[in-house]
Amino acid sequence: MPFPIHRPRRLRTTEAIRSLVRETRLSPTQFILPLFVCPGENVKREIRSMPGNYQMSIDTLVAECEEVRQLGIGGVILFGVPEHKDEIASGAYAEEGIVQRAIRAIKRATPDLLVITDVCNCEYTSHGHCGKIVDGDVDNDATLPWLAASAVSHARAGADIVAPSDMMDGRVRAIRDALDREGCLKTPILSYAAKYASGFYGPFREAAESAPQFGDRRSYQMDPANAREAMREIALDLEEGADMIMVKPALAYLDILAEARRRFDVPLAAYQVSGEFSMIMAAAQQGWIDGERIMMETLTAIRRAGADMILTYFAKPAARLLA
């Protein structure tokens, strides 16, 4: 009979003991903060559904990045809100595009802050879809050159890592080929390998002004019902040359994260997306939950499931709490 010999509560008696036997630890270096850059000067426009997150002009963004660096946060991932959108997403791969200029400015001011860029077209197309529209649907192969050009323009501007989030087939290969052809052999690819068509992206689409003007993203993002398919998506991206992989969203997909951790020996990221953040913030503002506590609990859960790094809008408050 285990009891009374075995009393698991012994190891929960004090914080000192709990801390000693804790299996999962959080560090600010594991967090990546998503940031939204927009045109203008001295702009800091709060995103209504994401308290504490802003659309920022480049000058404001640079100051924010200095703060992020001081907090010891692992890095930032940039999303662009361009001046103009068009049918061919030209702002996504323009040499002087909003993200390209932001990268250069950040690298001038804080050269050792890790800068990741989101590679996608939805913020830059007039219709809000992630690629070129042909006959009412996103044309996969016609979209690949846009993505490759975006990735190269980001790498040339100084991005440390490029992260394609569009879910086109073959995009990792197309991006790797283009980067290598242009001499960017050292730029790693963090692939949003298992990205689901999720309602949790709602607030982000307000932040990035990237909601599709017709239809939805179900013909390219994954069906939330599918787990085996995620493993196949990840395997394909690794074959195509992805250096790191991501599962997105995080909390509702911890099974996918855990299975990916078990199967693939590469760095694994999870994206705690806008809706996950906003739900916690909203409930906390109502006084229905303890926001700080749930922030740390969810981040711990995502790490426990197997993520090495977490893209999260909580990066700053969580880093402050861990300091």
Site for ligand PBG, rule CB under 6 A: 118, 120, 122, 130, 165, 201, 204-205, 217, 273-274
d(CA 38, CA 118): 15
φ/ψ of residue 8, rounded to 5: -55, -25
Q: How far is the CB of 172 from ligand PBG (least distance, A)?
A: 15
Residue with nearest beta carbon to ligand PBG: 204
Shortest CB 169 distance to ligand PBG, Å? 15
Q: Which is nearer to ligand PBG, 49 or 187 (CB)?
A: 49
Inter-residue contact 35 to 56 (CB < 8 Å): yes
Name the residue nearer to ligand PBG (CB basis): 177 or 206.
206
- E strands within 99-136? 115-119, 132-134
Q: How far apart are CA 167 and CA 236, in angstroms?
A: 12
Q: What is the DSSP letter of 92?
A: G
Dihedral sign for Cα 157, 159, 162, 164, please.
negative
Q: Which is nearer to ligand PBG, 110 or 172 (CB)?
A: 172
Residues forming a β-bridge with 309: 269
Q: How far is the CB of 1 from ligand PBG (least distance, A)?
A: 50
CB of 68 to ligand PBG, least distance (A): 17
Which has the closest alpha carbon to 314: 259, 274, 266, 257? 274
Nearer to ligand PBG, 33 or 152 (CB): 33
* SS3 call for 160: coil
Q: In this structure, are residues 233 and 222 in contact, taking their beta carbons and an 8 Å threshold? A: yes
**Of the listed 85, 132, 195, 316, which one is catalytic?**
195
Q: Which residues contact 146 (CB under 8 A, 6 or more apart)?
A: 88, 89, 92, 93, 121, 131, 132
β 54-56/44-46 pair status: antiparallel
CA nearest to 282, candidates 294, 297, 296, 272: 294
What is the rounded distance in angstroms from the CA atom of residue 233 to the CA atom of residue 164? 13
Show the beta-strand stretches assigned E in the chain: 31-37, 44-46, 54-56, 75-80, 115-119, 132-134, 137-139, 161-164, 190-195, 244-248, 268-272, 309-312
Name the DSSP letter for residue 305.
T
Nearer to ligand PBG, 53 or 110 (CB): 53
CB of 156 or CB of 205, closer to ligand PBG: 205
Taking the complex as a whole, the smallest distance from the CB of residue 123 to ligand PBG amounts, in Å, to: 7
Whether 195 is a known active-site residue: answer yes
**Active-site annotation holds for 248:** yes
Nearest residue (CB) to ligand PBG, 118 versus 160: 118
Distance CA 273, CA 53 (A): 13
In the set 107, 132, 248, 316, the catalytic residue is 248
Return the active site residues. Answer: 195, 248
